[in-house]
Amino acid sequence: MIRLLALLLFAIPALASDVTVAPTIGWISRAPELEYVWDSANPNVDGWPLAGTTVTWRAHVRSWRAEASSVPYVWRVDGVEAARGTVTLAPNAVTVVELPWLWTFDRHRIAFAFIDETGGTSELEVFSDALSVGFWVEQSFYDYFRANQSSLGIGSTGFEDWAQRTIGLFNDMAGLAGVIDRWRLQKIVIVPNGALPLNGLPPDASLGANGATHPDRLDRTVDLMWGFRNAHLNQYTRGTRIDPLNWFYTGVGALHELGHARYLVDVYAWDVRHAPPHFVIDVPGVVPVEAGGLVHRTPEQGLMNKHYSFIDRYSAIAMNRIAGRRAVLGNYNEPRNFASFLNDLPAQNRVTIRDGNGVAIPNAEVLVYQATRTSPTPLWYGAHFDATPDLTLRTDAFGRVLVGRSPFGEVVHAPDLNTGVVIVRVGDRVGYLESRLFNLAYWRGETELADHELIVGRECGSEGPRLRGPSWDEVTAGPVTLEWDSMVDATRYRVYANGRLVGSTRSTAIDVRLDGRVYWWVEAELGVCGTRRSYPSRFVASNETVMRRRAVR
């Protein structure tokens, strides 16, 4: 069954002749579009199709030509051909090609492919059970991508290819991090400049909410949404680097914000700064260790911190707590169930306190300082640590101290208060205890008693090794030499490729023989400071045939 649908929303301006005119598979939607059920008690079923009923997969193919053209296409399910034919693409519009399919909650791969008149092959593959994503984009933002994406030199035709590359990167990161859910782009809605938000902001919208966070709060057909406003275009015009941190290559910043729409918190909220008036620390002996007043940086790096090319362990576990569920209390940033896990804490927590050399500190007074508000004016993650300790404790003969369920009080990450860290002082030595560690223990099943360790008198930092090569998406041949910078105090490096340990060395390079597309990173063993991992990179072995715009989305 084929149904052609011309979606000529707004006129596309004349483009330079060097911009590719090959058609683009913009996205694959599923019909009927079902709304999520607000405050559902069973979101693993509510809002999903009924098992055994017919749904329709719809490939949205964007033609850039001024005249109609015909292309042969094929649908595949789990790599097996399900339908084929020829479709006539409407000029300068979107044409929809459909595939009926019996719904099941099991995961399948649905792929649509065609060969265009230039001989180029395009294929887009999605996960059948993926959470649905909606992108709303203002006209000039969309036009800029159409006019400039070709400068990347990778066959990217415009916003649609960029959007699929972004969703694809999330799915790759999810697989490597053990995240169960996958995402699928359900719709791209082009609107006039200045139109976002389409239906205003909800009355309980958080500080900074705008047309990007809430492009259309009344649309409940998608599980996650984000808006691209022309006013924010400068954030996405960062050159032609083939690098995930170039937002014109992949929208990793949008992935971070979609994490909030799923209910995740900013992991960097466990950083501590001494930079009045936003952050005020009156605890004796606390001095900045980095520019900007930073006195503590959480070692949990990744998507919900400030490096977006891998999913941090904390956020991966939080996402898996609600795996398979549709949105329940909002599909925008922030939903009403935002950060609902912050107070998952063991009933009792025992902390072993060690000095900067890793030696336990016995029979010592322990002063614990909690955070309070800095001022009546909302300031993101503001905190005030006054000079009066909130808890006075003492370690036992083994350097251990019981701190109860929550030495933090109620854990809050909000515009006007951030209570996820306490400052711990032992004599003239200071350390920082994060509620994040208590959450991780609780999720491991340590709901009654959990053990933790805290170093005082030494700030271990958060950075892992910096990778040197190969560069992102470099095509290599034969054995590949992976290289990285050395780290002070590193005793050994462990090298991972596609989630598998491929080597351990004291050197800063290793030769490996790998096939296909490879994500790799390095973990450094740093003695008392534990391990720190690098940001990942990606390269392609030359024996893999890379199909233009082929991706699992």
Task: Identify the sign of the CA torsion 33, 39, 42, 43.
Answer: positive
pLDDT band for 277, please (50, 70, 90 cuts): confident
The least confident of 6-10, 16-20, 491-495 is 6-10
How far, rounded to the nearest angstrom, does the alpha carbon of residue 220 sit from its chain's CA centroid?
21
pLDDT band for 552, please (50, 70, 90 cuts): very low
Helix (H, G, I), strand (E, B), or coil: what is residue 425?
strand
Is the pLDDT reported for residue 17 higher than 70?
no
- Residue 4: what pLDDT? 33
Say if residues 398 and 351 touch (Cβ distance below 8 Å). Answer: no
Residues belonging to the chain: 553
Written as six digits, the tokens of 278 are 């936003």
Which domains does the chain show, CATH number per domain? Answer: 24-265 (2.60.40.10), 279-286+342-455 (2.60.40), 467-551 (2.60.40.10)
Is the pLDDT reported for residue 256 higher than 70?
yes
- Residue 376: what pLDDT? 67
List, for residues 433-478, the tens digit of each pLDDT value: 999 999 999 999 999 999 999 999 999 989 999 999 999 999 998 8
- Residue 365: what pLDDT? 98
Helices 159-177 and 139-148, axial angle in degrees (round to 10): 90
Cα–Cα–Cα angle for 146, 151, 153, nearest 5°? 115
Average pLDDT value for residue range 356-366: 97
DSSP letters spanning 490-516: --EEEEEETTEEEEEESSSEEEE---S
- Residue 410: what pLDDT? 97
What are the angstrom distances between the C-alpha of 294 and each of 169, 279, 286, 299? 31, 10, 10, 13
- Residue 287: what pLDDT? 86
Say if residues 341 and 60 touch (Cβ distance below 8 Å). Answer: no
pTM of the model: 0.93
Q: What is the DSSP letter of 235?
A: G
- Residue 10: what pLDDT? 27
Check residues 83 and 515 and name the one with the higher pLDDT.
Answer: 83
Half-sphere exposure of 73 (CA within 13 A, CB side): 29
What are the angstrom distances between the C-alpha of 190 and each of 141, 239, 370, 447? 9, 24, 47, 48
DSSP letters spanning 265-279: --GGGG-EE--TTTE
- Residue 160: what pLDDT? 98
Whole-number Å distance between alpha carbons of 64 and 43? 39
Is the pLDDT reported for residue 430 higher than 60?
yes
List, for residues 91-139, the tens digit of each pLDDT value: 999 999 999 999 999 999 999 999 877 777 899 999 999 999 999 999 9
pLDDT band for 240, please (50, 70, 90 cuts): confident
- Residue 307: what pLDDT? 85
List, for residues 171-227, the tens digit of each pLDDT value: 999 999 999 999 999 999 999 999 999 999 999 888 889 999 999 999 999 999 999
Say if residues 526 and 512 touch (Cβ distance below 8 Å). Answer: no
List, for residues 363-407, the tens digit of each pLDDT value: 999 999 999 988 766 678 889 999 999 999 999 999 999 999 999
List, for residues 283-325, the tens digit of each pLDDT value: 998 988 888 899 999 999 999 998 889 999 999 999 999 999 9
Check residues 278 and 141 and name the one with the higher pLDDT.
Answer: 141
- Residue 14: what pLDDT? 31
Q: Which residue carries 């329709």 as its tokens?
A: 56
- Residue 546: what pLDDT? 41
Bridge-partner residues for 75, per DSSP? Answer: 83, 112
Is the pLDDT reported for residue 340 higher than 80?
yes
Helix (H, G, I), strand (E, B), or coil: what is residue 531?
strand
Helix (H, G, I), strand (E, B), or coil: what is residue 528?
helix
List, for residues 260-276, the tens digit of each pLDDT value: 999 999 999 999 999 88
List, for residues 128-183, the tens digit of each pLDDT value: 999 999 999 999 999 999 999 999 999 999 999 999 999 999 999 999 999 999 99
User: What phi and psi, each to the nearest 5 degrees, are found at residue 118?
Assistant: -85, -5
The least confident of 87-91, 116-120, 538-542 is 116-120
